[in-house]
């Protein structure tokens, strides 16, 4: 397995390291393809990274922002991942609106919204229906139940292998989420995991044998790089 695990002293160091990795992958992508495609994660851990990026002089017109998952609420709702990242980053920078690619949660049927976003991705990346696009970087968090994106334990979304986007299910509430194969197609996947409450799930996710239905983060095994950034609190039992 190509997994790299880095344990950082605390959240501040974890964010600093995630920013270094992001900036280096950004530079490489722009040199190679003149654009950088990144999928953002929700949750509290990456928020300071987004805030820090907002003050960097980056080539914003060459950066395209996507989300790995979204709660099925309006974009103005406090639970919206889009809202969090707009407030922390996207509303603070000079970026063409066409470079921001949120998941549309205004359609009544989440499945329809998933299919629409899938088509948007296929058009943007210029891939056929049977192909998976390759993101330069996908940022992920992990819940204390081992879920990542909106791939929750024992849900149907875990086994979707022929779609880019599907409907996740958090305690009966629909979510939109990247599928496992889409995430695994990425050039680089970075998990940001901090805090004591992640210890036991991390142990299960990193165990040599285990059940991915119970700990969906086990399913994330990208073709490209896989980097787990942990703080000492989270990594204490590994």
Q: From the CB of 141, what's the least distance to ligand 6PG, in Å? A: 3
141 is a site residue for ligand 6PG (CB under 6 A): yes
Which one among 18, 37, 45, 166 touches ligand 6PG, defined by CB under 6 A? 45
Of 78 and 208, the one with the shorter C-beta distance to ligand 6PG is: 78
Question: One symbol per residue from 150 to 179: x for binding ligand 6PG (CB under 6 A), - otherwise; what is it?
Answer: --------------------x---------
Which one among 15, 21, 39, 42 touches ligand 6PG, defined by CB under 6 A? 42
Q: From the CB of 34, what's the least distance to ligand 6PG, in Å? A: 31
Which one among 6, 16, 43, 153 touches ligand 6PG, defined by CB under 6 A? 43
68 is a site residue for ligand 6PG (CB under 6 A): no
Apex CA 81: angle with CA 71 and CA 136, to 5°?
110
Q: Nearest Cα to 124, choosing from 182, 174, 84?
A: 182
Rounded distance between C-alpha atoms, residue 98 and residue 64, angstroms: 8
Question: What's 97-162 look like in SS3?
Answer: HHHECCCCCCCCCHHHHHHHHHHHHHHHHCCCCCCCCCCCEEEECCCCCCCECCECCCCHHHHCCC
Rounded distance between C-alpha atoms, residue 205 and residue 215, angstroms: 6
Q: From the CB of 153, what's the least distance to ligand 6PG, in Å? A: 12
Question: What's 13-70 look like in SS3?
Answer: HHHHHHHHHHHHHHHHHHHHHCCEEEEECCCCCCHHHHHHHCCCCCCHHHEEEEECEE
**Binding segment for ligand 6PG among 38-46, 99-107, 108-116, 205-213 (CB under 6 A)?**
38-46
Of 81 and 95, the one with the shorter C-beta distance to ligand 6PG is: 81
What token pair was written down for 107? 């359609």
Of 29 and 139, the one with the shorter C-beta distance to ligand 6PG is: 139
Of 41 and 158, the one with the shorter C-beta distance to ligand 6PG is: 41
Residue nearest to ligand 6PG (CB): 43
Of 8 and 41, the one with the shorter C-beta distance to ligand 6PG is: 41
Q: From the CB of 33, what's the least distance to ligand 6PG, in Å? A: 28
Q: Tell me how far CA of residue 110 lies from CA of 107, 129, 202, 213, in angstroms.
A: 7, 20, 30, 23
């Amino acid at each position: 397995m190509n997994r790299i695990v880095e344990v950082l002293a605390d959240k501040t160091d974890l964010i600093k390291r995630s920013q270094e990795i992001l900036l280096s992958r950004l530079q490489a992508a722009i040199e190679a393809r003149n654009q950088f495609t990144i999928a953002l994660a929700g949750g509290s851990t990456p928020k300071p990274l987004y805030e820090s990026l907002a003050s960097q002089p980056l080539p914003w017109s060459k950066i395209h922002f996507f989300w790995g998952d979204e709660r099925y609420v309006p974009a103005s709702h406090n639970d919206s991942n889009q809202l969090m990242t707009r407030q922390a980053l996207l509303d603070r920078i000079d970026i063409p609106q066409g470079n921001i690619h949120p998941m549309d949660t205004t359609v009544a049927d989440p499945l329809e919204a998933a299919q629409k976003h899938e088509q948007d991705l296929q058009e943007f990346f210029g891939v056929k229906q049977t192909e998976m696009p390759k993101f330069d970087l996908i940022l992920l968090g992990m819940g204390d139940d081992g879920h990542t994106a909106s791939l929750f334990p024992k849900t149907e979304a875990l086994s979707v292998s022929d779609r880019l986007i599907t409907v996740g299910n958090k305690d009966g509430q629909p979510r939109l989420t990247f599928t496992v194969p889409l995430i695994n197609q990425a050039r680089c996947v970075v998990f940001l995991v901090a805090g004591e409450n992640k210890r036991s799930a991390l142990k299960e996710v990193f165990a040599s044998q285990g059940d991915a239905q119970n700990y969906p983060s086990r399913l994330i095994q990208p073709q490209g790089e896989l980097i787990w950034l942990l703080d000492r609190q989270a990594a204490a039992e590994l």
